[in-house]
């Protein structure tokens, strides 16, 4: 299972970003290998459609779970057509949000 | 002749100025380009004819598509994405540029019509009244504005009531304007928005005049700026409860003898700048 979060900095100790499409980084964690990796958001400065490009990115990396404080209308429209489940992040670092999700302590948004 | 009325913010008095100029200029045409919130027609009792406006959006033929993603990479508006190996269109982001069709080497993209709103036309006394409305949820009314501007009669005076701000839809509205009237109000907020819209008309090299609406004891906020930028102030409309009340009841305040002189004076000033 791949878990994705928008983060302010790179790495698992980074705080979750306040925005999804305009996050600085995305942290992707694989529960099988127990390894995570940060990706720079290449669409951060797009004038249009940063959210939809983020949705495209999440699909490209076979994301199963998205943990985010909020999600834009367009990205949501795309992700609702997929099997990705979306959970609400808390103001903790990425790693703790992942643990909270794995322990069933996060609220499911969609 | 096209005279565009614009301001950096909503509620400054664009429509107030526009409809009353139309009312006092013989045979003039009113064109409401604020297609997101058109309200100019409320002042003119008329029957209106509607015409639907469409834009072209791409349609992907999945039998021909090889998933090369050239169109996805090309689209600078990100209206096309790679959705689980299939090209997916997000119509709300599409700007109808047609680029995706051009870059597709497999002839997999055709263009189809997508309705985005309508334009309407009516008559009031000896005036032509035009306006348009963008459908709820659609992001760009540029095509509607472009169709509206094309209705401008070269032989007549066309008063263009612009959308607020200084974005694409305002640019489309003023592009062919011979003269631009900036409407502002004497507040710090009004000044900041005036600066933005002045920057735009400067960029477009437009001949401009400034009207101070809701004029009061603080007009110097705007007057000082006008002086430093060498902008001619072509009129004042007072901050007046009676005027506000008439206007909010869909009355043309220029039909009222108390307020008519303010607009007559503005027209005289415009005549010194352009041939009316």
What is the value of ipTM here, to two decimals? Answer: 0.80
Helices B260-273 and B14-24 meet at what angle, rounded to 10?
A: 80
Q: Do residue A52 and residue B84 have CB atoms under 8 angstroms apart? A: no
Burial class (CB in 10 A: 0-12, 13-18, 19+), B126: exposed
Q: Do residue A49 and residue B88 have CB atoms under 8 angstroms apart? A: no
Same domain, B103 and B30: no
Q: Which of A50, A56, A74 is nearest residue B92 as measured by Cβ atoms?
A: A74
Same domain, B229 and B262: yes
Q: Do residue A46 and residue B78 have CB atoms under 8 angstroms apart? A: yes
Most A CBs within 10 Å, among B77, B84, B97, B168, to test the A interface: B84
Same domain, B142 and B257: yes
Topology classification of domain A2-102:
Nucleotidyltransferase; domain 5 (3.30.420)
Same domain, B67 and B172: no
**What pLDDT shows up at residue B145?**
97
User: Which residues form the domain of B265?
Assistant: 2-53+117-273
Q: Which of A48, A59, A74 is nearest residue B83 as measured by Cβ atoms?
A: A59
Taking contacts as CB-CB distances below 8 angstroms, the residues of chain B near A48 are 76-79, 93
Most A CBs within 10 Å, among B78, B86, B142, to test the A interface: B78
Between CA A44 and CA A25 the distance in angstroms is 9
Most A CBs within 10 Å, among B72, B77, B81, B94, to test the A interface: B81
A31's CB contacts (< 8 A; 6+ apart) are: A1, A2, A3, A102
Same domain, B98 and B208: no
**What pLDDT shows up at residue B85?**
86
Same domain, B18 and B78: no
Same domain, B180 and B250: yes
The number of distinct structural domains making up chain B is 2
Same domain, B34 and B165: yes
Share of chain B above pLDDT 70, in %: 100
What length does chain A have? 110
Q: Do residue A60 and residue B82 have CB atoms under 8 angstroms apart? A: yes
Same domain, B125 and B99: no
Q: Do residue A53 and residue B88 have CB atoms under 8 angstroms apart? A: no
Give A28 to chain B, closest Cα distance, Å.
18
Taking contacts as CB-CB distances below 8 angstroms, the residues of chain A near B92 are 74
Q: Do residue A49 and residue B82 have CB atoms under 8 angstroms apart? A: no
**Mean pLDDT across chain B, nearest whole number?**
95
**What pLDDT shows up at residue B138?**
84
Same domain, B173 and B49: yes
Residue pLDDT tens, chain B, 276 long: 999 999 988 999 999 999 999 999 999 999 999 999 999 999 998 899 999 999 999 999 999 999 999 999 999 999 999 998 899 999 888 989 999 999 999 999 999 999 999 999 999 999 999 999 999 988 889 999 999 999 999 899 999 999 999 999 999 999 999 999 999 999 999 999 999 999 999 999 999 999 999 999 999 999 999 999 999 999 999 999 999 999 999 999 999 999 999 999 999 999 999 887
Edge-first strand listing for the sheet containing A65-68: A35-40, A25-30, A2-7, A65-68, A85-88
Q: Do residue A74 and residue B90 have CB atoms under 8 angstroms apart? A: yes
Most A CBs within 10 Å, among B90, B138, B139, to test the A interface: B90
Beta strands in B78-203 (DSSP E): 80-83, 86-89, 109-124, 127-134, 158-161, 179-184
The reply to whether B112 falls in a domain is no
Q: Do residue A53 and residue B81 have CB atoms under 8 angstroms apart? A: yes
Query: What is the domain partition of chain A in residue ranges?
Result: 2-102
Taking contacts as CB-CB distances below 8 angstroms, the residues of chain A near B88 are 78
Same domain, B32 and B12: yes
Residue pLDDT tens, chain A, 110 long: 999 999 999 999 999 999 999 999 999 999 999 999 999 999 998 888 899 999 999 999 999 999 999 999 899 999 999 999 999 999 999 999 999 999 999 999 99
User: What is the residue whose two structure tokens read 């043309």?
Assistant: B252
Same domain, B137 and B99: no
The reply to whether B238 falls in a domain is yes
Rg of chain B taking only CA atoms, in angstroms: 22
Give B104 to chain A, closest Cα distance, Å.
20
Give pTM, 2 decimals: 0.77
Give B192 to chain A, closest Cα distance, Å.
24
């Amino acid at each position: 299972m791949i878990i994705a979060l928008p983060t302010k900095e790179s790495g698992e100790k980074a705080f979750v970003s306040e925005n999804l499409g305009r996050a600085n980084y995305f942290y992707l964690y694989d529960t099988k290998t127990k390894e995570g990796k940060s990706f720079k958001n290449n669409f951060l400065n797009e004038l249009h459609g940063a959210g939809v490009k983020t949705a495209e990115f999440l699909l490209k990396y076979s994301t199963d779970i998205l943990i985010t404080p909020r999600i834009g209308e367009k990205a949501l429209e795309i992700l609702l057509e997929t099997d990705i489940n979306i959970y609400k992040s808390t103001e903790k670092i990425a790693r703790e949000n992942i643990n909270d999700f794995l322990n069933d302590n996060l609220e499911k948004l969609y | 002749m096209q005279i565009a009325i614009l301001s950096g913010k909503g509620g400054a008095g664009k429509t107030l100025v526009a409809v009353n100029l139309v009312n006092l200029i013989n045979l003039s045409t009113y064109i409401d380009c604020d297609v997101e919130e058109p309200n100019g027609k409320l002042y003119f009792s008329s029957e209106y004819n509607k015409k639907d406006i469409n834009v072209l959006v791409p349609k992907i033929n999945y039998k021909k598509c090889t998933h090369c993603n050239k169109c996805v990479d090309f689209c600078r508006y990100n209206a096309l994405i790679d959705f689980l190996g299939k090209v997916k269109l997000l119509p709300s982001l599409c700007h109808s540029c047609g680029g995706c069709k051009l870059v597709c080497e497999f002839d997999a993209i055709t263009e189809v019509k997508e309705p985005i709103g309508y334009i309407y036309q009516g008559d009031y006394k000896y005036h032509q009244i035009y306006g348009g409305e963008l459908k709820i949820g659609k992001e760009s009314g540029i095509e509607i504005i472009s169709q509206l501007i094309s209705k401008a009669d070269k032989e007549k005076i066309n008063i263009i009531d612009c959308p607020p701000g200084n974005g694409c839809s305002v640019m489309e509205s003023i592009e062919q304007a011979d003269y631009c009237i900036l409407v502002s109000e004497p507040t710090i907020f009004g000044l900041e928005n005036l600066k933005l819209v002045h920057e735009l008309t400067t960029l477009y090299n437009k001949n401009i005049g400034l009207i101070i609406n809701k004029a009061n004891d603080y007009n110097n906020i705007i007057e000082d700026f006008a002086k430093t930028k060498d902008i001619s102030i072509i009129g004042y409309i007072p901050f007046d409860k009676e005027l506000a009340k008439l206007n909010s009841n869909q009355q043309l305040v220029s039909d009222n003898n108390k307020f008519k002189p303010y607009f007559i004076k503005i027209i005289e000033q415009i005549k010194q700048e352009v041939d009316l």
